[in-house]
């Protein structure tokens, strides 16, 4: 049965912003694109950079270390079709952005 873990208050993640959140022993990258929240694995697959601290432009985040770019809505790398960052299902509960983790 999937577990749902609160990551951040919706009010603390305004439209167009991103956040890095550590929960359940993992690092998550949380994004707000026009009021829709997305969660990716927060560790960049290039060299471990913090995707939650990247710059968000529309639905594309740019890793702050070397500039790799991902679509935060599906994890797809913007230039390499074979690279896809893990994404997680999201639920909003009691004003919190929650990540749904498979057991
Ligand atoms: S660590 Fe993210 S682009 Fe290099």
Taking alpha carbons only, the member of 30, 27, 23 closest to residue 97 is 30
* pTM, entire model: 0.96
Using CB distances shorter than 6 Å, the residues near ligand 1 are 44, 46-49, 63, 65-68
Domains of the chain: 3-101 (2.102.10.10)
How far apart (Å, rounded) are the C-alpha atoms in residues 18 and 93?
19
pLDDT per residue over 29-88, tens digit each?
Answer: 999 999 999 999 999 999 999 999 999 999 999 999 999 999 999 999 999 999 999 999
Comparing 2 with 18, which gets the higher pLDDT? 18
SS3 10: helix
In the predicted model, what is the mean pLDDT of residues 88-94? Answer: 97
Integer CA distances (angstroms), 37 to 71, 88, 98, in order = 13, 11, 9
User: Chain-centre distance of CA 10, in angstroms?
Assistant: 14
CA of 70 relative to ligand 1 center, distance in Å: 11
Q: Identify whether the C-beta of residue 79 lies closer than 8 Å to the C-beta of residue 72.
A: no
């Amino acid at each position: 049965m999937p577990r749902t873990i609160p990551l951040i208050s919706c009010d603390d993640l305004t439209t167009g912003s991103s956040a890095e959140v550590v929960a359940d022993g993992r690092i998550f990258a949380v994004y707000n694109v026009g009021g829709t929240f997305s969660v990716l694995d927060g560790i960049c697959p290039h060299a471990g950079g913090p995707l939650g601290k990247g710059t968000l432009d529309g639905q594309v985040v740019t890793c702050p270390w070397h500039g790799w770019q991902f679509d935060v809505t599906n994890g797809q790398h913007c230039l390499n079709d074979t690279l896809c960052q893990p994404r997680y299902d999201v639920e909003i509960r009691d004003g919190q952005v929650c990540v749904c983790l498979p057991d």
